[in-house]
A = this chain, B = another copy of it.
Amino acid sequence: MPIPPLTCPRCGTTAEDLSGCAACRAQGVGANPVPPLADLTGFRLADFPGGPWGLPAALPVPGEYAAAVGLGEGGTPNVRIPHGGSAGGELWVKYEGGNPTGSHKDRAMTVGVAAALAAGADTVVAASSGNAGAAAAAYAARAGLRCVVFTTPKVPETLRAQIDALGAVRVVREDFAARNAAMRAAVGRFGWYPLTSFAAPPAGGNGYANEGYKSVAYEIARDFGERVTAVVVPVSRADLLSGIARGFRELRSAGLLARTPRLVAAEASAAAPYAAALARSGRAEQERTTVVDGPSPAFSLGGQRPTWQGLDALWRFDGAALAVPTGEFMAEHRRLGARGLFVEPSSAVAVAAARRWADARGGTVVAIGTATGLKDTASVRAPAAPVPELAELTD
């Protein structure tokens, strides 16, 4: 099976590389070319085992790569958590921390590395503040490819160790811009195969890899059916949001879901280009939104520009974007811990936004808990309060 070409969903141009659509970039818009949507006619949702390789026919890469690149990704659990408000309904966290490297990125990287194999690449490359780099390293190692991760000094120690343990080469640059520039140079000069976004304005990650995220939509549809009213996704380049939207589009086209959920982008207030974009009037304005971003404990989010793919997902699914202040999502982070879920701060951004949504509107709301809290232990500062009885125990 040849790999299908990628076509820009905004302007229709066939892509020449994996850096995003050059024609749209010339217009100041970061648009990410995609393969054709899959035809899911005849797919039995109830039998879906989960994960990208649970339905190879929906992927733009040959299914026989599954054994070479699979590490058991996907099929993540849904955990219900209490919420308030008078609207009733249910609030769920889909916990992606159970993936092989501990984040949702595994769903994309397993497909992206398969695409790299199909392209005959010997080296894959990622620019990442953490989760994507670890996932790229794991799947490259699984497939026997070299992996180079361009990163910044902000990467938490745990992720640094994970990338090293997985045998990838880490190259540290001083900031996001320098990191992406180094990756761009390496892709151009050595022909290394890019697994993440690296252009400016950002377009999104590898258009083949992102198809792995469609499996999140299939799993939600299998587990909740038509009763899910909203899916809340933390966004930066919006690869995950866009992939989920594409999965729901496929399910809807095949008649497998008569009603699809609204999609909600969750952002840290410190960097909220999607909320800023949706507050503007026309699409041409929204596409070119730029905000000033600041530091945030949700280190894997952030950015000054929305991607076109993220906006498109919101336009198609009656979407909304919620910006959550640091205090609110770090309180959610602690609240989740006190319910048994230790997630990274970015995931807490999504849950805090989903809580607002569920409290106000009810319905069945699913937040994507993108990664385990083990990735970023610096976010945990306060030990629990001691229990009084312990004073009676002498050493």
Interface residues, chain A, with chain B CB atoms under 8 Å away? 67, 70-72, 75-80, 95, 97-102, 123, 138-142, 146, 148, 157-158, 160-162, 164-171, 173, 178, 182, 185-186, 189-190, 333-334, 337-342, 372-375, 377-380, 382-387, 389-390, 392-393, 395
**In contact, A377 and B142 (Cβ under 8 angstroms):** no
Interface of A is mostly: mixed
- Tell me, rounded to whole Å, the shortest Cβ–Cβ distance linking A174 to chain B: 8
Neighbouring B residues of A189 by C-beta, 8 Å: 389, 392-393
Q: Select A77's contact among B71, B80, B171, beta carbons within 8 Å.
A: B71
Instruction: Say whether B373 contacts A165, CB under 8 Å.
Output: yes
Q: Determine the distance from Cα of A75 to Cα of B337 in the docked complex, in whole angstroms.
A: 23
CA distance A389 to B186 in the complex (A): 9
Q: 8 tightest CB-CB pairs across the interface, nearest first?
A: A72-B77, A142-B340, A161-B377, A161-B380, A165-B337, A374-B374, A141-B340, A138-B340
Of A98, A148, A395, which is in contact with the most chain B CB atoms at under 10 Å from its CB? A98
Q: Which of B169, B182, B390 contacts A148 (CB 8 A)?
A: B390
Indicate the member of A185, A373, A375 with the most B CB atoms within 10 Å.
A373
Residues of chain B within 8 A (CB-CB) of A100 are: 77, 95, 97-98, 340-341
Output the least CB separation between A299 and chain B (Å). Answer: 15
Rounded to whole angstroms, the CA-CA distance of A174 and B97 in the bound complex is 32
Contacting pair B71 A342 (CB below 8 A): no
Residues from chain B with Cβ under 8 Å of A78 in the complex:
72
Are A375 and B377 in contact (CB-based, < 8 A)?
no
Give Cα A261 to B71, complex, Å.
24
Query: Are A98 and B95 closer than 8 Å at their CB atoms?
Result: no
**CB proximity of A77 to chain B, nearest CB, Å:** 2
Q: B383 and A164: CB pair below 8 A? A: yes
Residue from the set A77, A392, A395 with the largest chain B CB neighbour count within 10 Å: A77
Of B141, B160, B190, B383, which is within 8 A of A339 by CB? B141
Residue of B nearest to A99 (CB): B98
Residues of B within 8 A of A157 (CB): 377
* Contact among B123, B165, B379, B384 with A169 in the assembled complex (CB-CB below 8 Å): B384
